[in-house]
A and B are shown apart, each in its own frame.
Chain A
Amino acid sequence: MKKILVLLTLFVFICSSMFAFTWPWAKKDTGTLTITGSTTVLPIAQKSAEVFMDKHSDVNISVRGGGSSVGIAALLDGTVQIADASRSIKTKEFKAAREKGINPVGNVVAKDGIAVIVNPGNGISEITIPQIAAIFTGEISNWKDLGGVPGPIVVISRDNSSGTYEVFNELALGGGKVREDAVVLASNNAVAQTVSQTPGSIGYVGLGYLSDAVKALKVGGVMPNNATVNSGAYKLARPLYMYTNGNPKGLAKQYLDFIWSAEGQGIVGDLGFVPLR
């Protein structure tokens, strides 16, 4: 028994020390780019990093999520070269950055439209921004007030700190408070899934999460799609950023140039976001 214990301990020590020694060596002679931030931007960053690394075998790009605030905090701490954000930098964060001698520059890599969705069985197909605000803040709670089949409206929202909520709240609700009994879900997928299963529900998701399982509403008479988002006709849309310290240079510039290329924007479109052209 004691022998086994000693052996086991030795084994663990040897393994961990080997790990500690080999790790830096494996990374030493390659260009490294670290990216953290918004989970909305994550798929764009991840997929373009994969394709970029296929083309440049000596480059290592590590991409992580965590949220816009986490990304920007990491950029301020100097632990990442690129911070993904689904919102522009806040004044408070910008001030903190200047104090640290960092100059955050927001590079728009794609646009994200937010679609208001209902169950496919719902007869309503058009809505206005004031109506959206009335529904989400609780002034209207029955579909008959919108000319639909009478029945309670089940409001489905996102966590109050998610980037999607923040933009929806700003663009559609004008900073109003979402009704307290609204169902709050943690991801775009969860919202789409729940709306597709719940007859009287209304929710909102990124354009990339639209499918036949849910019905996207026209907002102010405009259908959400790539063309209307880029032309500015569709109002519930936002730019997605990759923040760098100063204008992008070196590997970060190469990487961003790739995302801005025709191929990179193709990836953006394939992932369900709105390409810049």
Chain B
Amino acid sequence: MKEKFIRPILLISALVSIFFLCGITITLFTESLPLLKQYNFIKFLFGTHWYPTCYPPELGILPLIVGTLVVTLGTFLIAVPLGVGTAIYISEVAPHKIKEFLKPTVELLASVPSVIYGLFGMVFLAPLVQKVFHVPIGLNAFTASIILGMMALPTVASIAEDAISSVPRSLREASFALGATKWETITKSVVPAASSGIIASIILGLGRAIGETMTVLMVAGGAAQIPHSIFDPVRTMTATIAAEMGEAPMGSLHYHALFAIALVLFFITLGFNLLADWISHRRKV
């Protein structure tokens, strides 16, 4: 009797997420399509000027794509060594007591709202970066990468740690038995064995960085230019959508262009997730 109720309820809960995914996809497509009728898609993707409210409007999103990629690359360079290092330390090196303390602390970092990271970056880190590196402005790709790196770190560390911990004990023992040192065991046996999980953790962490909106809106500087250096202010796709959607007249070219940016972003993050999925399945032993 009970089962009769529970099964459909669970089914509905499972279907809800599919329903929303379909809804999002359909909305993105239908709201983006009017742009393609009025504006050359190649000019949209590879144009280097973003002046949506000028006449005639220029809707080139290449600076926004490059801005997103630069910040993501910066995040990668910060989050990967720190995240994987943290994971190895927690799983392989740390004494039990430190491990018990460190793991929840790192995971706590993931629960800090992004606007708080943004405030911290804007009020504390940006002036510091400006003074230390003698750059004109502290709100730039570098500062944004540091903050996003901190935000991606718990994702990378937590999932990579799970992957490393699940490497069978026998593998480590075999390595030690062959006379390998602890360091050799970690780098030559444990990490390679956990590599699919580690790579998946990195891709998921970067997925968070690409989609992050509030923080980059506050600390990346927002200049729609193709940056010449890591210390130039940049504008990401997410920040553009968030900042401009509220004031873009509904149904205008600008409005549809913002949806088209969202669609491009959707495909980029989808690509990342498929890649993560593919890697973690391909290398599973």
Chain A contacts to B: CB under 8 angstroms: 2, 5-6, 9, 39, 65-70, 73, 90, 92-93, 152, 154, 159-163, 166, 175, 177, 180-186, 190, 193-194, 197-198, 200-201
Contacts and interface: CB of A to CB of B under 8 A. Distances in A.
B136 A152 contact: yes
A69 B249 contact: yes
B52 A161 contact: yes
Contact of B137 (A2, A69, A180, A198): A198
Interface stretch (B166-174, B188-196, B203-211, B215-223): B215-223
B103 interface: no
B231 to A, nearest CB: 12
Contact of A186 (B52, B63, B218): B218
B136 A185 contact: no
Contacts of B244: 159-161
Instruction: Report whether over half of chain A's contact residues are helix, strand or loop; otherwise say mixed.
Output: mixed
A160 B243 CA distance: 9
Contacts of A162: 243, 247
Contact of B246 (A6, A161, A184): A161
Contact of B248 (A6, A65, A161, A183): A161
A198 B249 contact: no
> Most B CB atoms within 10 A — which of A5, A177, A184, A186?
A184
Interface of B: 2-3, 5-6, 9, 49, 51-55, 63, 122-123, 126-127, 130, 136-139, 217-218, 221-225, 232-233, 235, 239, 242-244, 246-250, 254
A92 B5 contact: no
A157 to B, nearest CB: 8
A175 B54 contact: yes
Given A6-B6, A67-B247, A197 B222 contact: no
- Sort A-B residue pairs by CB-CB distance and give the 5 closest, nearest first: A184-B222, A161-B247, A67-B246, A67-B247, A180-B225
Nearest to A86: B247
A73 B249 contact: yes
A161 to B, nearest CB: 4
B136 A70 contact: no
B223 A2 contact: no
Nearest to A87: B247
Given A2-B6, A70-B246, A161-B246, 14 more contacts: A6-B2, A6-B5, A67-B246, A160-B53, A161-B52, A161-B53, A162-B243, A163-B247, A175-B54, A180-B49, A190-B218, A198-B136, A198-B138, A201-B137
